[in-house]
Structure 1
Amino acid sequence: MADSSKDDARKAQAPIKGRGAASLVPGRYAKSIAVGVDDGWGSVYEDLVDAPRPQTQVTQERARSVISRNDSPDIGFSQSLNPYRGCEHGCVYCFARPSHAYLDLSPGLDFETRLYAKTNAAERLRHELAKPGYVPSPIALGINTDAYQPIERRYRVTREVLEVLAECRHPVSLITKSALIERDLDLLGAMARERLVTVYFSVTTLDNHLAARMEPRATAPHGKLRAMRALSDAGVPVGVMVAPVVPMITDAEIEHILASAYEHGARAAGYVLLRLPHELKQVWREWLELHYPERAAHVMSLIRQMRGGKDYDSAFGTRMRGQGPFAQLIEQRFRKAHQRLGYGRLPPLDTSRFVAPRKPSPQGDLF
């Protein structure tokens, strides 16, 4: 079968309710790729029409280390911790999808249905914080995949990690799309009083119908705003990330999102342009063709205009904001609304309070 036929055979025919991706887009390291072939007895997709919806599968993972470090010049943190791999929120635009290719899994449906929970994360974190040479700096929690995705209700890995950080008075920043974070207000409120925590909410759209298509299992927009208000009222410094900004899909909402977030307690704001690294290009194009076929070509044309003629440019300094006239217009609109509404910066986190955890002793605690 020719390559073009293979592409046609893998092409999704319809969205899957409750999921962002519509197919098992192959990972770039896949050793083999399954291709459907019509054998003359009916459509190759006939069996898929009435097939059950893909169920979420969770594998418990015993991590060897949990703190990741980076020195990227356009990322505002040097340490991060991700309690989960994959994310059930199913955000079709998620820049982390290609990371599932390292597991020989699809950045498409597998990313949101085949998940890994680092059930020993708190234990490993305690071990790493207790190392003699450890120098505290804020840990960004749940950056690659959401720390408060739906499976956190069952596995509580994020809660256990926060308990260790609170015990050690270690500063932490979070970004989430989930109102589940309200569950941990007891910890977050106490940490905020010691300048140990900040929280950003990622808001892509305030349109419930669009959100259900783009981020099907994330908290609905009004739920995010309600959680924002709850945290702010509890004294937790709250910000909003308008992310990602998608031309001709969500860019018209920039000012509305900023105004609504400010009304609900957000006092800092940022934005990120849609990023399409690796296999995410195919996941995104597939979604566009299924949901917005009449404007798909225009959307991709604008994206390429902001990415130097390509679907994506990973260069530091421009990968978050893009370049060119349309990118400049987005930046100007955001800046003017930011200034008009009175946004500033969240207070800096305090690293001076850190107390290293005690290593377990075979004799137990005598005092």
Structure 2
Amino acid sequence: MRWDNLTAPPVEGVPERAAPATPPLPLALPGATVRTFDTPAFAGMTFYEVRAKSIINRVPGTSRVPFEWTINPYRGCSHACVYCYARNTHTYLDLDAGADFDSKVIVKVNAGELVRRELAAPRWRGAHVAMGTNVDCYQRAEGRYQLMPQIIAALRDFANPFSILTKGTLVLRDLPLLRQAAEVTRVGVSYSVGFVDERLWRAVEPGTPSPRRRLDAVRALSDAGLSVGVLMAPILPGLSDSDESIDATVAAIAAAGATSVTPIALHLRPGAREWYAHWLAREFPHLVPRYRELYRAGAYAPQAYQRELTARVRIAARRHGLYRSEPAEHAEPGESGQGGGPGERGGHRRLTKSPPPPAAEQLSLL
């Protein structure tokens, strides 16, 4: 991705201060405008505002996902999920996959106008567009930059099908736009909720809304007439894979009105693997030998472990009303919440209580 130089106006209503002169701009972001905000929500964070050359990106053909096009208005993510698949992408920008990924966010400030321009191009054929496949488009920065209303409005105006995968509750702000879009095209929303244990949430996903708040958002979206699926992802070995954790999580997902639940075991690719391993050794050192054994062959847990998880989630889903089993589409993991992964090989299944919602086409993340 390339960007033009940018002279951006201040964000209205937000006090700002000049970023420190050092360190210099990342080599991959020449001319970006650098901002920091004097508000508690953005303490320690730096935003690099850029003008992107393009915004609707083609997914590489080698990626086994059920969609070809994505929109990602942000790079980096304040959710700070220790397992996030997208961490390694920050290294492409001369930033690190650890603390930089959590605290240095690239903002494509012209995303809305680019979406409208690219949808109007004669070569565009109205293909499905997936959002939330790199980092969460409803992370905290969206509350300041407000890029998603422009993006959704453009997709609505061109009746272009799309889906959103998120852990953010800010999507409720855009519910009127989503309902308008759903009247003219296919719209899907999926949430990532891997567990409901709040102590674990604070340790593993410290920058996200709590699992209960996410499920409240699932209920609100469902009550508004949208079909909302939940990726039960990632399920963390030794931390959220007990029968008790699985049953409590599935029960909460069913009670929230979700139309499907897709269990996905943790996978650890380069960047995420090192960051998660460091966190695990610090917080749960007794689990290190188990993880070393599970992931000794690479990024994915053994197929036998994945099948066992799926079977136990299926039992819980039937118990709580998500009773019918459907094969999940092949998918690559995404970054808002960790989806896909082993399912590329037919390893996980979507458990539904109604026909699969459009959002289930977007098994990524998160």
Q: Normalized against structure 1, the TM-score is what?
A: 0.73
Q: How far 1:172 moved relative to its partner?
A: 1.1
2:207 aligned partner: 217
Distance 2:281 2:90 in 1: 23
Write out aligned runs for 1:313-352 (5 A): 322-340=301-319, 341-342=322-323, 343=352, 344-348=354-358
| 2:49 counterpart of 1:60 | yes
In structure 2, the CA distance between the partners of 1:187 and 1:104, relative to structure 1 (3 Å rule), is same
String of CA shifts for 1:44-66, please: whole Å, max 9, x gaps: xxxxxxxxx97010011111111
1:40 aligned partner: none
Q: How far 1:138 moved relative to its partner?
A: 1.4
Distance 1:329 1:88 in 2: 33
| 2:279 counterpart of 1:287 | yes
Equivalent position to 2:269, from 269, 277, 284: 277
Instruction: State the secondary structure of the residue aligned to 1:198.
Output: strand
| 2:157 counterpart of 1:178 | no
Distance 1:225 1:177 in 2: 10
In structure 2, the CA distance between the partners of 1:336 and 1:195, relative to structure 1 (3 Å rule), is farther
| 2:107 counterpart of 1:117 | yes
Equivalent position to 1:267, from 259, 262, 282: 259
Aligned residues: 286
2:218 aligned partner: 228
In structure 2, the CA distance between the partners of 1:137 and 1:152, relative to structure 1 (3 Å rule), is same
Instruction: State the secondary structure of the residue aligned to 2:65.
Output: coil
Distance 2:96 2:43 in 1: 13
The one-letter amino acid paired with 2:293 is: S
The one-letter amino acid paired with 1:287 is: W
1:242 aligned partner: 232
Q: How far 1:255 moved relative to its partner?
A: 3.3
- Alignment gaps of 5+ in structure 2: 1-26, 29-41, 324-351, 360-366
| 2:185 counterpart of 1:206 | no
| 2:244 counterpart of 1:257 | no
Distance 1:334 1:76 in 2: 23
Q: How far 1:218 moved relative to its partner?
A: 0.4
The two structures, once aligned, show a CA RMSD in angstroms of 2.1
Distance 1:168 1:140 in 2: 15
Q: How far 1:250 moved relative to its partner?
A: 1.4
String of CA shifts for 1:161-203, please: whole Å, max 9, x gaps: 1111112111110111111111111111222334531111001
Distance 2:307 2:133 in 1: 26
Q: Is the 8 A contact 1:192 1:235 kept in 2?
A: no
Larger Rg: 1
Equivalent position to 1:141, from 131, 139, 150: 131
Distance 1:170 1:90 in 2: 31
| 2:322 counterpart of 1:312 | no
Distance 2:251 2:355 in 1: 16
Equivalent position to 1:191, from 159, 181, 191: 181
In structure 2, the CA distance between the partners of 1:110 and 1:148, relative to structure 1 (3 Å rule), is same
Which 10-residue stretch deviates more, 332-341 or 78-87?
332-341
1:5 aligned partner: none
- Alignment gaps of 5+ in structure 1: 1-28, 31-52, 314-321, 350-367
Instruction: State the secondary structure of the residue aligned to 1:239.
Output: strand
Q: How far 1:73 moved relative to its partner?
A: 6.2
Q: How far 1:225 moved relative to its partner?
A: 0.8
Distance 1:63 1:292 in 2: 41
Q: Is the 8 A contact 2:156 2:184 kept in 1?
A: no
Q: Normalized against structure 2, the TM-score is what?
A: 0.73
Write out aligned runs for 1:38-53 (5 A): none
Q: Which runs of 4+ in 1 moved over 4 A?
A: none
Distance 1:336 1:74 in 2: 28
Q: How far 1:347 moved relative to its partner?
A: 4.0
| 2:77 counterpart of 1:90 | no
The one-letter amino acid paired with 1:281 is: R
Q: How far 1:72 moved relative to its partner?
A: 4.8
The one-letter amino acid paired with 2:263 is: Y
The one-letter amino acid paired with 2:170 is: L
Distance 1:74 1:250 in 2: 27
Q: How far 1:295 moved relative to its partner?
A: 2.0
Q: How far 1:345 moved relative to its partner?
A: 3.7
